[in-house]
């Protein structure tokens, strides 16, 4: 047979498994680069907008549980919103033990600004997860004011003075029922540098921002720290009652609105920042493990597929480079290096967005391995009977067996 002819089957079988794996990883990265909504780009920001002739009324709902440590850096930014229309803030103190409600009132007295109401919802009934019972209470208070929009934001989020104005203008101009911005998380400790930019990168890979805002697509997601929601759309989608058992409540909210015929937009924020620190890796681990298995619909099959996918896409490239170098397998080395280079290249825009050094890009396989372990840990927690948790309160699964001790 000619040296340029088809490769004999015997030689095909001699090609090492690591070469096939590296080729599969490279093919996967080619598809992700070109066919997954350009998820790696970070230029999806608030769309162009114009000021409405009449500014609609807005009620801001802030669920808060034991947030005294972050409120001084976040709540004044909400109270200081430069909004031309009528706006009011409702902070729902959900059983705090650190004086969250009292501190919120003190901050309002000290800083002034938008009117603030602080109220408590009482203990949640069975069937409500996470912070959604607090959100329901806040939305109920807000509806008495008959606002056109609701801004759902977390107690650790600081907003620029014109943040509310820009959200409303974007929603009105684009005809969106949901306009959400992914707040810029804090990145100071080593753990935050490794995990936080990757967290947003992986989120965008699952929910490409460009697809979310495009009409006719099924992709829907929001970022819970900053969600402007049209009140009429919330009523039509039965928010939050329809998602009361959701662990990943922001994504569930966006899906419910889109299923009911609403339009959703999500992008990265320029001046919406989380002030919550995650100084230790275990803090970040807990944040991811809380919802990772819920993202997989608590399915062992999806978990196995996710582990296999993460291994092929993120772990095979560096392993192929190392194994190829040791075994003198040039094909494995080249294919693995190409996939690794493509992976690192797609991560660079997110590192720049977070103002992080680019030498972190080649470390993405290590971070992906951490996320793989976090996802497995999330599944283990679930099958041990632990349900969703929010600020120290755990909501057991209906079928869970109580732990002893």
Question: What percentage of the chain exceeds 90 in pLDDT?
Answer: 80
Last residue of a domain, one of 217, 246, 277: 277
Q: What is the CATH number of the domain that holds 201?
A: 3.90.550.10
Average pLDDT over every residue of 121-145: 90
The pLDDT mean for the chain works out to 91
Cα–Cα distances in angstroms (integers) from residue 32 to residues 26, 40, 289, 339, in the given order: 10, 9, 25, 11
Judged by average pLDDT, the poorest of 31-40, 152-161, 239-248 is 239-248
- Higher model confidence: residue 5 or residue 87? 87
Q: Within this chain, do residues 240 and 261 fall inside the same structural domain, yes or no?
A: yes
CB-CB neighbours of 5 under 10 Å: 7
Last residue of a domain, one of 253, 277, 301: 277
Q: Within this chain, do residues 262 and 120 fall inside the same structural domain, yes or no?
A: yes
Dump pLDDT digits (tens) for 258-281: 999 999 999 999 999 999 999 899
Gap between the Cα atoms of 102 and 339, Å rounded: 54
Beta-sheet pairing, 178-184 with 226-230 = antiparallel
Average pLDDT over every residue of 305-320: 97
Q: Within this chain, do residues 192 and 86 fall inside the same structural domain, yes or no?
A: yes
Cα–Cα distances in angstroms (integers) from residue 255 to residues 223, 230, 290, 294, 404, in the given order: 12, 14, 20, 15, 37
Within-domain flag for 112: yes
pLDDT band for 403, please (50, 70, 90 cuts): very low
Within-domain flag for 400: no
Q: Within this chain, do residues 97 and 222 fall inside the same structural domain, yes or no?
A: yes
Within-domain flag for 403: no
Average pLDDT over every residue of 294-306: 92
pLDDT band for 128, please (50, 70, 90 cuts): confident
**In Å, how far from its chain's centre is CA 77?**
22
Q: Within this chain, do residues 66 and 212 fall inside the same structural domain, yes or no?
A: yes
Please check the confidence at residue 282 and state whether its pLDDT lies above 80.
yes
Within-domain flag for 203: yes
The pLDDT assigned to 395 comes to 58
The pLDDT assigned to 130 comes to 65
Within-domain flag for 390: no
**Contact predicate 252/132, CB 8 Å:** no
Last residue of a domain, one of 242, 277, 312: 277
Domain of 27, in residue numbers: 17-40+283-381
Question: What is the total count of domains within the chain?
Answer: 2
- Higher model confidence: residue 383 or residue 241? 241
| SS3 sequence of the chain | CCCCCCCCHHHHHHCCHHHHHHHHHHHHHHHHHHHCCCCCCCCCCCCCCCCCCCCCCEEEEEEECCCCCCHHHHHHHHHCCCCCCCEEEEEEECCCCCCHHHHHHHHHHHHCCCCEEEECCCCCCCCCCCCHHHHHHHHHHHHCCCCCEEEEECCCEEECCCHHHHHHHHHHHHCCCEEEEEEECCCCCHHHHHHHHHHHHHHHHHCCHHHHCCCCCCCCCCCCCEEEEEHHHHHHCCCCHHHCCCCCHHHHHHHHHHHCCCCEEEEEEEEEEECCCCCCHHHHHHHHHCCHHHHCCCCHHHHHHHHHHHHHHHHHHHHHHHHHHHHCCHHHHHHHHHHHHHHHHHHHHHHHHCCCCHHHHHHHHHHHHHHHHHHHHHHHHHHCCCCEEECCEEECCCCCCCCCC
**pTM for the predicted model, two decimal places:** 0.91
Q: Within this chain, do residues 239 and 321 fall inside the same structural domain, yes or no?
A: no
Gap between the Cα atoms of 94 and 66, Å rounded: 8
Please check the confidence at residue 393 and state whether its pLDDT lies above 80.
no
Q: Within this chain, do residues 340 and 357 fall inside the same structural domain, yes or no?
A: yes
pLDDT band for 399, please (50, 70, 90 cuts): very low
Q: Within this chain, do residues 241 and 257 fall inside the same structural domain, yes or no?
A: yes
Here the tokens at position 48 are 């162009």
**In Å, how far from its chain's centre is CA 228?**
16
Q: Within this chain, do residues 256 and 132 fall inside the same structural domain, yes or no?
A: yes
Q: Within this chain, do residues 273 and 339 fall inside the same structural domain, yes or no?
A: no
The pLDDT assigned to 389 comes to 62
| Residues paired with 141 in a beta bridge | none
CB-CB neighbours of 355 under 10 Å: 9
**Contact predicate 58/168, CB 8 Å:** yes
Within-domain flag for 2: no
**Contact predicate 165/81, CB 8 Å:** yes
Q: Within this chain, do residues 110 and 92 fall inside the same structural domain, yes or no?
A: yes
Gap between the Cα atoms of 257 and 132, Å rounded: 16
Average pLDDT over every residue of 372-376: 96
Q: Within this chain, do residues 176 and 235 fall inside the same structural domain, yes or no?
A: yes
Within-domain flag for 289: yes
Judged by average pLDDT, the poorest of 16-20, 61-65, 104-108, 115-119 is 16-20
Within-domain flag for 392: no
Here the tokens at position 159 are 């907003």
Here the tokens at position 115 are 């009117």
The pLDDT assigned to 253 comes to 97
Dump pLDDT digits (tens) for 175-230: 999 999 999 999 999 999 999 999 999 999 999 999 999 988 999 999 989 999 99
Write the CB contacts of 309 (distance below 8 Å, at least 6 apart in sequence): none
CA neighbor of 282 nearest in space, from 393, 184, 377: 377
Dump pLDDT digits (tens) for 152-169: 999 999 999 999 999 999
């Amino acid at each position: 047979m000619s040296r340029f002819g088809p490769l004999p089957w015997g030689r095909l079988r001699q090609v090492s498994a690591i070469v096939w794996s590296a080729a599969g990883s490279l093919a996967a990265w080619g598809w992700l680069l070109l066919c997954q909504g350009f998820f790696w780009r970070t230029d999806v920001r608030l769309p162009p907008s114009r000021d409405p002739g009449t500014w609609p009324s807005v009620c801001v709902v802030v669920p808060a549980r034991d947030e005294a440590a972050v409120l001084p850096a976040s709540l004044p930014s909400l109270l200081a919103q430069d909004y031309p229309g009528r706006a009011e803030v409702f902070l729902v103190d959900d059983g705090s033990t650190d004086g969250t409600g009292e501190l919120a009132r003190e901050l309002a007295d000290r800083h002034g600004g938008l009117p603030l109401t602080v109220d408590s919802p009482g203990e949640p009934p069975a069937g409500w997860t996470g912070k959604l019972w607090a959100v329901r209470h806040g939305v109920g208070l807000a509806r008495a004011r008959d606002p056109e929009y609701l801004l759902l934001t977390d107690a650790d989020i600081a907003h620029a003075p014109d943040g509310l104005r820009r959200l409303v203008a974007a929603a009105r101009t684009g005809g969106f029922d949901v306009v959400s911005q992914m707040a810029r998380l804090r990145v100071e400790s080593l753990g935050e540098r490794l995990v936080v930019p990757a967290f947003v990168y992986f989120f965008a890979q699952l929910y490409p921002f460009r697809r979310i805002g495009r009409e006719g697509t099924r992709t829907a997601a929001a970022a819970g720290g900053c969600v402007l929601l049209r009140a009429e759309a919330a009523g039509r989608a039965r928010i939050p009652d329809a998602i009361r058992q959701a662990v990943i409540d922001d994504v569930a909210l966006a899906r419910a609105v889109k299923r009911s015929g609403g339009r959703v937009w999500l992008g990265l924020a320029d001046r919406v920042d989380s002030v919550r620190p995650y100084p230790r890796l275990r803090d970040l681990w807990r944040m991811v493990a809380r919802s990772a298995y819920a993202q997989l619909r608590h399915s062992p099959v999806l978990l196995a597929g996710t582990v296999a996918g993460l291994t092929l896409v993120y772990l095979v490239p560096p392993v192929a480079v190392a194994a190829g170098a040791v075994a003198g397998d040039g094909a494995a080395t080249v294919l693995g290096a190409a996939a690794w280079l493509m992976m690192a290249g797609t991560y660079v825009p997110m590192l720049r967005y977070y103002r992080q050094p680019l030498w972190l890009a080649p470390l993405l396989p290590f971070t992906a391995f951490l996320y793989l372990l976090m996802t497995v840990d999330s599944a283990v927690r679930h099958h041990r009977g632990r349900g969703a948790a929010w600020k120290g309160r755990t909501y057991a699964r209906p079928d869970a067996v109580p732990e002893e001790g």
